[in-house]
Structure 1
Amino acid sequence: MGRQNGVTIKDVLKMNCMEKCKLIAGFKGVDNTVSRVNIMADPDILNWVHEGELLLTTAYSFRKDSIEIQKKLIKECSRKGLAGIGIKIHPYLKRLSSEVIDLANTLNFPIIDLYYDIPFSDIMTPIFKEIFNKEALLLQRLDRIHEELMNAMLSGASIESIANVIHKNLNNPVLIKLEFPNKQIMKFGDLDKYIKELLINNMRSFYNSSSFNYHEKKFTETTELISGKYIKRVILPIVVKNTIYGHIFSWAIDTPFSGFDLSILETASTTIALEILKKLSVSEVENRYKSEYLEDLISLDKKRKKKALERASFFNLGLDNIYVVSIINLINSHMGKDKLSTDEVQQTISGIIRAIKDLMNKLDIKGFVSSKTDSIRILLFDSDGERLTMKIGQIRQNIKKVLDNKITNLEYRAGFGRPYKGLENVYKSYTDAIKAIHAGEILGESKITSFNELGIYKLLCNDNLKDEMEIFYNETLKILVEYDKNKSTELVKTLESYFKYNGNLKQMSKALFTHYNTVLYRIQRIKEITGMDLDNAEDRLNLQIALKIKPILDV
């Protein structure tokens, strides 16, 4: 579907000026739109023609041109998107070559045999007049549709009402897929249920295609094979703040598309974008209030905290509920052209927040989500501790999918704090979540870490213990680490293997790719260098704790 509005080749052939003219090739191109008319005086005009033009010429030059040159002309006209070509064949030729006719039929490029006695001006003037009249009529219709869409939006009508306007004026099935608000609106009329399912699957294939670029902000037209028929599909993105929030799909099931249809879709896309912008503005204000409230709630300032507790009912938070805080930190670690701008990071955060809200609604989890700079904070609560623990497990299982799906060119780390009873204790869960992220970075096992699953790291990640841990490490493991460094040995690795395989020397030997006697020798050397005996329970515990302290101290 070209941008041009005008009249079709079929309409042109019905005009009085074309009464003695006839279509001789390219019959399947009769729905091509003629947006203007041009005359070819010499072949160089093809350098200045435009898509949608109907080219008028004579077969005078055809008498000396070879068949290949004639075919080249038809190919070039088709390639440039001309609506068709009208040729005065008589009296210069008896007929066009069958090769030229066959080529035009293959390309679905209309060739009209113009009556030799009619002046070109008598053809151009009526067609231009018809195009002008139709353009004026279409502009009136488009103005009416624009007014209808704007009135719907200003009166608070839903996006579904806007979809009804599109469907009514397009006379074709319409599907609107939105990321925010997360919904899918279908206006398929009285189509067969089977065809409806095929159209929905066709929309899904667009998003699942390997060639799909979600950041492509332009109109797309393709030909799709649906139920054994090739059907035109048009897709228009809905763009707000330079970000795509959805797409409008339509298929030429009932009537062919025209440039007017594209104008309708563009107007509808802009109208929906304005509606989304309004919702985004409300959401941003809401996020700011929630973020400020959470800052007060976790503050060590007693006045701020008291103020937050007094405003708890405003956010439907009970003072005696059980609360859990989760934090997601985004790291913009890429460099150069892959590094995201501040706006792109904020757009990513907004998308993640919307997806998490949808997930919470789906799982029936109470709470709210807010953001601050490159961090997302989630406050979850319930009056029942067991139920909350179950809900936390469910959201943890799904939140990784959300993050992996929404995040590109960014890294992330997430942590879940412990549940605490009472709104005044939310700061404790917040602190736990920060510690969980820190421990997750050290352990490197998962991008999402729960404080409850840290085991002894709950103690070791306490900042107040850092000095004591460093002293403990120096008195136990440091000498062995330095020995390995100076002698290029693997005694620390052997010690780690010892605890991993519960002292089973055979399994250690296999894992270390080392002879059994070598492992025995290394164990003896560990005892001699550290002065600790792995057969002694207290020495064994001290060495195991020292190994866990090592990555925390980053030594």
Structure 2
Amino acid sequence: MARQNGVTIEDILKMDCMKNCKLIAGYSGIKNVVSRVNIMADPDILNWVSEGEFLLTTAHALTADVEFQKKFILSCSQKKLSGLGIKIYPYLEKLDDEVIELAENLSFPIIELYYLTPFSEIMTPIFKEIFNKQTILLQRLEKVHEDMMNIMLKGGSIEDIINVVYENVKNPVILKLNYPEKTIFKIDMLEENIREKIKKNFDEFYLKSKEKISEKRFYETVEKISGKNITRMVMPIVVKEMVYGHIFSWAVITPLGGFDLSVLEIAATTMAVEILKLLSLRESENVHKIEFVEDLCSTDEKRLARAISNLSIYNFKEDDFYCYLIIKIRRNYKKFDFNFISDSVYLLNLLEDILHKNNINGIVVGKKDQIDILLCFKKDENFRKKINFFKDEVLDIFNKKIFIEYMVGFGRCYKGVENIKASFKEAQKAIKAIDILKERNVVFYENLGIYKLLCSDEIADELKDFYKTTIEALEDYDRKKSTEFVKTLKAYFECNGNLKKMSEVLYTHYNTILYRLQRIKQITGLDVEKENDRISLHLALKIKDIIK
């Protein structure tokens, strides 16, 4: 919409200068806002008009050609002029019915001007009224800005800001913030059935307009609510080029205009400053948390001692039980939702809420593409049950709120601060194993089985040597001859040695499977029919995944 304030066509019709004039078409457009007045000397003026102008002319300038008149009215509507004032007499008896009908369909007001009233006597009072109204509106906006600044300076809340918005737009208002996560409804003045439909319309914006959610632009639409067309304004709250929420308002009680748009803009800017302050505070806290956790996991005695001296800050004790887990965020997002939030702040906030709501002691640390969480339990707590519950809550976040690819690795729970680094290393190995296993995105180190050994850095060289002496030659052969022996060997173990099932899985004849197994034996020197050789080949395939 035009970011202008002025008077409506309805207001102009009530002015003394229009007492002998009458509205002859486009009645449903009488709420159009007039921001300025212009006079048409010839039809080319449409190349220079602006949105919101009220255009004055005579029927002489339109000629008697009906098609030309219709084309002109259509162009005025498309240019978003507020209306047209025409001196019809003495140039024409009246406008053609087709022209009137078109203006009605376009909701474009046409006022028949009294032929003896000079244009100057119409323009001057309208300009004066526009100026007076804009002055009043500027004073009101200055008051709105002053009220919001006072709220910030006095340490007021976001709820206080929304109250100012509501008091000024005099229509239902809803605020949706992703950080800090909250939704504020100011719709109590409505009847219950209208309240529910406003809420539904609010929800549909996030369900049906997903491509709009992360766009940094204002939206004004006409919504169908209770059978009526109601204007809805949606103002984004933008911080660091990211959208952190929206302010909604619906023209249920009074029309929404330029003043209301300005109020929403001021409120969005004020909230953005408040959010930026919170983000800066969180960033500072996160830096201290990173240093604290890294000191706890350090082999340096001085760093560990420094961390132990700060345990009480986080309500930790030296002989508590600790579990370290890592959440790894993949950059190939499946959906756009995560783009809402800069530097994973939204996710960090959700994870901290889980800890707080479920009375679990711990700290959440944000790193690049990764979130580290240290959980702390007292000796009388059922930490296994709480860890599993926390895991389920984390999965709900990714499945219902933030649809991105992720991996979660859990270390074991250990007693004593000195063993936190052991849990940390296990969480790292669990994450590494997820990349190898590829069949799940949450792994507990204690459930890794043989991968506990295979993911150990201490035997990395031995694993490479084992791979080279087992199936490296088979991979080289496949690469040079375009065969599928490694794929066949993998299918052998996946099918538990069932050759018939292998032929179905590989879409290959049974005899071809027998031939391939024989060739694998010849190339590697290992026979799947022998137990030790079979174990070596199976292990070599797992090591191949780790190395590759």
Distance apart, 1:123 and its partner CA: 0.9
Task: Name the residue aligned to 1:387.
Answer: 385
Cα separation, 1, equivalents of 2:500 and 2:530: 21
Residue 402 to residue 347, structure 1, CA distance change in 2 (3 Å): farther
Task: Name the residue aligned to 2:131.
Answer: 132
| Most deviating of 272-281 and 47-56 | 272-281
Residue 536 to residue 81, structure 1, CA distance change in 2 (3 Å): same
Give the partner amino acid of 2:187. F
CA contact (8 A) 1:416 1:450 kept: yes
Give the partner amino acid of 1:492. V
The Cα offsets for residues 408-465 of structure 1, whole Å up to 9 and x where unpaired, read as xxx7554332322223222112212222222222333344444333221110111111
Gaps of 5+ in 1: 335-339
Q: Alignment partner for residue 531 of structure 2, among 516, 533, 537?
A: 537
Aligned pair 1:443/2:441, yes or no? no
Q: Alignment partner for residue 364 of structure 2, among 363, 366, 369?
A: 369
Distance apart, 1:482 and its partner CA: 4.6
Residue pairs, 1:8-407, within 5 angstroms: 8-62=8-62, 64-210=63-209, 212-330=211-329, 347-361=342-356, 364-383=359-378, 384-401=382-399, 405=403, 407=404
Secondary structure of 1:60's match? helix
Q: Alignment partner for residue 501 of structure 2, among 487, 504, 507?
A: 507
Residue 18 to residue 362, structure 1, CA distance change in 2 (3 Å): same
Cα separation, 2, equivalents of 1:13 and 1:529: 97
Q: Alignment partner for residue 462 of structure 1, among 445, 456, 459?
A: 456
Give the partner amino acid of 1:29. G
Give the partner amino acid of 1:28. S
CA contact (8 A) 2:324 2:427 kept: yes
Secondary structure of 1:12's match? helix
Residue 25 to residue 319, structure 1, CA distance change in 2 (3 Å): same
Secondary structure of 1:156's match? coil
Residue 479 to residue 49, structure 1, CA distance change in 2 (3 Å): closer
Distance apart, 1:60 and its partner CA: 1.6
Residue 531 to residue 254, structure 1, CA distance change in 2 (3 Å): same
Give the partner amino acid of 2:465. I
CA contact (8 A) 1:9 1:33 kept: yes
| % same residue | 52
Give the partner amino acid of 1:189. D
Q: Alignment partner for residue 421 of structure 1, among 415, 419, 428?
A: 415
Cα separation, 2, equivalents of 1:484 and 1:36: 79
Distance apart, 1:404 and its partner CA: 5.1
Cα separation, 1, equivalents of 2:306 and 2:482: 60
Cα separation, 1, equivalents of 2:294 and 2:391: 26
Secondary structure of 2:212's match? coil
Distance apart, 1:510 and its partner CA: 2.5
TM-score, with structure 1 as normaliser: 0.91
Distance apart, 1:399 and its partner CA: 4.7
TM-score, with structure 2 as normaliser: 0.92
Residue 534 to residue 53, structure 1, CA distance change in 2 (3 Å): closer
The Cα offsets for residues 483-521 of structure 1, whole Å up to 9 and x where unpaired, read as 555665444333323322222232223223333344344
CA contact (8 A) 1:355 1:402 kept: no
Distance apart, 1:275 and its partner CA: 1.8
Secondary structure of 1:239's match? strand
Distance apart, 1:130 and its partner CA: 1.0
Distance apart, 1:46 and its partner CA: 1.1
Count matched residues. Answer: 541
Distance apart, 1:268 and its partner CA: 1.3
Give the partner amino acid of 2:102. L
Residue 537 to residue 138, structure 1, CA distance change in 2 (3 Å): same
Distance apart, 1:361 and its partner CA: 4.2
How well do the aligned residues superpose, as a CA RMSD in angstroms?
A: 2.5
Cα separation, 1, equivalents of 2:376 and 2:184: 33
Give the partner amino acid of 1:553. I
Distance apart, 1:271 and its partner CA: 1.5
CA contact (8 A) 1:7 1:134 kept: yes
| Most deviating of 49-58 and 247-256 | 49-58
Aligned pair 1:494/2:488, yes or no? yes
| Most deviating of 264-273 and 168-177 | 264-273
The Cα offsets for residues 175-206 of structure 1, whole Å up to 9 and x where unpaired, read as 00001110100101321222112111211211
